[in-house]
Structure 1
Amino acid sequence: MHEFNKEWKLSGIQRIFYNSLVGELGGFGSEDGKFIWPTSVTNTLDGDLAIKDTGNQQIQIFSAEGRHKQTFSYGSENTKCLGDVTCTKEGLLLVSNGSKGIKVFTKQGEMIHLLKSSKADWKHSYGLAVVNSNSIAVTDWTDGGKVHIVAVDWRMNAILKTNVVDGLQRPEYIAVTKDEDLLVTEGQLFGEHTGCCLKVIDNDRAIKKTIGPKYGNNLHFINPSGVCVDGNGNFFVADKGRNNITMFNPKSSLMAVVVTHDLEGPCGINITNSDLLVVADCYHHTVKLYKYKQGIIL
């Protein structure tokens, strides 16, 4: 089923394909190719998918066509389902698991370093994103919530310095726009905290915009989780409370709900090299791929 939305021509997308599921990986299990609580997905340099299989405490590699290629363990979880996987511009896989250190692996599964330093004061790592060739961003639940911008010398696997953005509340996943703004989701919070929103952090590393809890006329975030950006600058937010995926244009002035069914606890999301939206559907123990724009060749 699809729907034409003329307004989206401003963002380079003229036709939105709603709920167009084109592929599904996994299913419940511990053997290769199966998942228990997949929570994050990223692209490798050669176009494969690296999936964080949190319940099995391993990374699984699939081809873009959905063929299982490799599995390797990243060790124990410091906190249940807390962590992320991302790929550097050099092709290394970074894995967070709720602890202070970030584990660095080759794509073949060899752990080559534990990235930590006295200069890096995060205690509860969650989301990861590559900002540029020499720095990464790490979300952290310490003291309410922070984002750490970490400069790294990849030749020496050493942290050079960190900058900290305060003023967040239990930030979860993080993505980077082409202008190097940071998009950070805050999930469902209770008590005096607000949450249920996405915050935009600009190049000066100040929070310049908050989207949510309400967006659009009759919609609101309940528990936003994964976030990613496509090649046109549109960004996507997964909501594991509403079990949907919403797309916003680069200025966040237009939005469309692009996936509205058959999800249960969507967490990490990404855009493949072939322009498919890939979703870690945590409680269905699967990873799903959706077509969301015209002109995609399957």
Structure 2
Amino acid sequence: MVTELGGYGSEPGQFIWPSGVTTTLDGNLAVKDSGNQQIQIFSPDGRHKQGFSYGMESERDFGDVACTQDGLILVTDGSKGIKVFSKDGLMIHLLKCLKSDWNHSYGIAAVKSSSIAVTDWTDGGKVHMIGVDWRMNAILKMNVINGLNRPEHIAVNKKEEILVTEGQLFGHQQGRCLKIIDNERILKKTIGPRIDNKFSFINPSGVCVDSHGNSFVADEVQNCVVMFNPDSSLTVKVVTQDLEGPAGLAVTKDGLLAVADCYHHRVKLYKYKQS
């Protein structure tokens, strides 16, 4: 661990239940502080820069934060909508589609300049691929990937493949894996529950991808972070101590792994070997 941000509280720079983290266009870290219903922004060296409210939370610890290629900050909170903010924290729009069956936004990722992906627990679980006209703040089209089990966080790699973690579905043994969906939106690979003779997922949560194509998955029950190489042939636990309920993950522009350590009310940054 290189450094940690936050600590329990409601003062600027403090958190209650941080559930999501992402990098902004400027290289800052944006943290979804679920208990305080705020997005908090930190510089790459860990200095608190600003915070702004995103409104009431629909469900405790329910939702995520992402940043578009144009610098817009997107927030989900469990409701049927995505809140769109400028980089300065001004709310621009509530993005939603009344005709869809998209009921419970959870994890969110920017796929490309005009498209985002959102996980939804409706009917067991699905992912919505949403095409957006940001100038008009309007949804142009929506495609649905069905057949998932309690999909939580979501990430996108350079091939525009979707990586989705599946937690346990209300105590059942479904899910408990990482699913990779190719750019044709067809399931390409399922990793887990059992990965090798030494490790099995129990409740995977946060997921992110670094610039080399390595992927990281947090398990909020086992309090660890696992790294996979690009073809998933090698697996290693990269964080195994001092976490309690790790949620969102991100890789900074400096190549540090940021972990939203939810029940320690901190974001912890780790240095790791990327080659």
TM-score interval for Structure 1 and Structure 2 normalised by the shorter chain: over 0.9
Equivalent in the alignment of 1:9: none
Q: Which amino acid aligns with 1:132?
A: K
Provide, for residues 211-241 of structure 1, a one-character-per-residue CA deviation record: whole Å limited to 9, x for no partner: 1110022100111000000000000000111
Rounded Cα–Cα distance in structure 2 between residues aligned with 1:41 and 1:130: 13
Alignment gaps of 5+ in structure 1: 1-20
Equivalent in the alignment of 1:247: 227
Provide, for residues 115-135 of structure 1, a one-character-per-residue CA deviation record: whole Å limited to 9, x for no partner: 112354310000000011110
> Are residues 67 and 246 of structure 1, via their aligned partners in 2, closer, same or farther at CA, if it must alter by over 3 Å?
same
Which residue of 79, 92, 99 corresponds with 2:72? Answer: 92
Write the mapping of 1:1-298 to structure 2, written as runs, cut at 5 A: 21-190=1-170, 193-293=173-273
Q: Which amino acid aligns with 1:233?
A: G
Rounded Cα–Cα distance in structure 1 between residues aligned with 2:101 and 2:45: 40
Provide, for residues 105-150 of structure 1, a one-character-per-residue CA deviation record: whole Å limited to 9, x for no partner: 0111100100112354310000000011110000000111000000
- Say whether the 8 Å CA contact 2:150–2:168 is kept in structure 1: no
Rounded Cα–Cα distance in structure 2 between residues aligned with 1:96 and 1:118: 16
Partner SS state of residue 55, structure 2:
coil
Rounded Cα–Cα distance in structure 2 between residues aligned with 1:75 and 1:121: 23
Equivalent in the alignment of 1:10: none
Rounded Cα–Cα distance in structure 1 between residues aligned with 2:143 and 2:231: 26
* TM-score, normalised by the number of residues in structure 2: 0.97
Rounded Cα–Cα distance in structure 2 between residues aligned with 1:33 and 1:247: 28
Rounded Cα–Cα distance in structure 2 between residues aligned with 1:246 and 1:175: 15
Q: Give the root-mean-square deviation of aligned CA atoms.
A: 1.2
Partner SS state of residue 148, structure 1:
strand
> Are residues 156 and 190 of structure 1, via their aligned partners in 2, closer, same or farther at CA, if it must alter by over 3 Å?
closer
Provide, for residues 169-223 of structure 1, a one-character-per-residue CA deviation record: whole Å limited to 9, x for no partner: 1100000011111000011234655111111111121222111110022100111
Provide, for residues 32-75 of structure 1, a one-character-per-residue CA deviation record: whole Å limited to 9, x for no partner: 01000001011111111000000000000010101001010000
Q: Which amino acid aligns with 1:225?
A: S
- Say whether the 8 Å CA contact 2:42–2:48 is kept in structure 1: yes
- Say whether the 8 Å CA contact 2:124–2:169 is kept in structure 1: no
- Say whether the 8 Å CA contact 1:200–1:210 is kept in structure 2: yes
Query: Which is worse superposed, 279-288 or 195-204?
Result: 195-204
Q: If you compute each CA radius of gyration, which structure gives the higher value, 1 or 2? A: 1
- Say whether the 8 Å CA contact 1:145–1:169 is kept in structure 2: yes
Alignment gaps of 5+ in structure 2: none
- Say whether the 8 Å CA contact 2:106–2:152 is kept in structure 1: yes
- Say whether the 8 Å CA contact 2:115–2:129 is kept in structure 1: yes
Q: Which amino acid aligns with 2:95?
A: L
* TM-score, normalised by the number of residues in structure 1: 0.90
Rounded Cα–Cα distance in structure 1 between residues aligned with 2:92 and 2:101: 21
Partner SS state of residue 150, structure 1:
strand
Q: Which amino acid aligns with 2:199?
A: L
Q: CA deviation at 1:153?
A: 0.4
Partner SS state of residue 293, structure 1:
coil
> Are residues 292 and 155 of structure 1, via their aligned partners in 2, closer, same or farther at CA, if it must alter by over 3 Å?
same
- Say whether the 8 Å CA contact 1:119–1:159 is kept in structure 2: no
